[in-house]
Amino acid sequence: MSSSGAAAGRGDRTEQPPMRDALIAAAFRLFPERGYEQTTVDDIVALAGVGRRSFFRYFPTKEDVVFPDHERCLADMTAFLAASPDDAEPVARVCDAARLVLRMYAEKPSFSVQRYRLTKQVPGLRAYELSVVWHYERAMARFLRERFAGHPDGILRADVIAAAVVAAHNNALRSWLRSDGREDAEAALDHALGQVAEAFGAAAPARPPS
């Protein structure tokens, strides 16, 4: 599941350490050349010119170097939801949270497309990605459960809406990735989230003017 007006809730990002960026660049240079399974951590650190300890300081596993921004993005999204005003419309708020996630991909189109192609080829990475998506969905569901507390079927409604928002996000994201990042990702997501808003009776706010 990276966005739009939601970005205002994130604050300024800290720059990534150059060594971390070098490891990511080395990994994504080697994966197309040798294949993901055939590329070892030793290969990555050798190309990056650092030691194994440096790799594991930033990435617990080889899989994590493929998804280097998800942990930060999940934290950003969770903080965005936690900072929601009391009068914020819940469904509109999780729609904005999905836009926040989309930005992670849209900010780095070449990297996102390369990772998309890689995950299609490696079943283990696809399984890893699905587990990441589940964490986003659970964070949205927790927020909605709190907002719907005491309502009839509040838990059910929260879980269904969270799943629908994630499905809308993933539909728009896949469409954008299949276009090699050439289409308007946010426009596709706005359209998809409009279906969620229509189904659940909440307005999905449009993107702010650029």
Per-residue confidence in pLDDT tens, the chain, 210 aa: 633 333 333 333 444 578 999 999 999 999 999 999 999 999 999 999 999 999 999 999 999 999 999 899 999 999 999 999 999 999 999 999 999 999 989 999 999 999 999 999 999 999 999 999 999 999 999 999 999 999 989 999 999 999 999 999 999 999 999 999 999 999 999 999 999 999 996 544 444 444
Cα-flanking dihedrals φ and ψ of residue 162, to 5°? -60, -45
150: left (phi over 0), alpha (psi -120 to 50) or beta: left
DSSP 181: T
pLDDT attached to residue 104: 87
What is the pTM assigned to this prediction?
0.83
Which residue ranges form the domains of the chain, and what is each CATH number?
A: 19-62 (1.10.10.60), 68-200 (1.10.357.10)
For residue 194, what are its two tokens?
């409009």
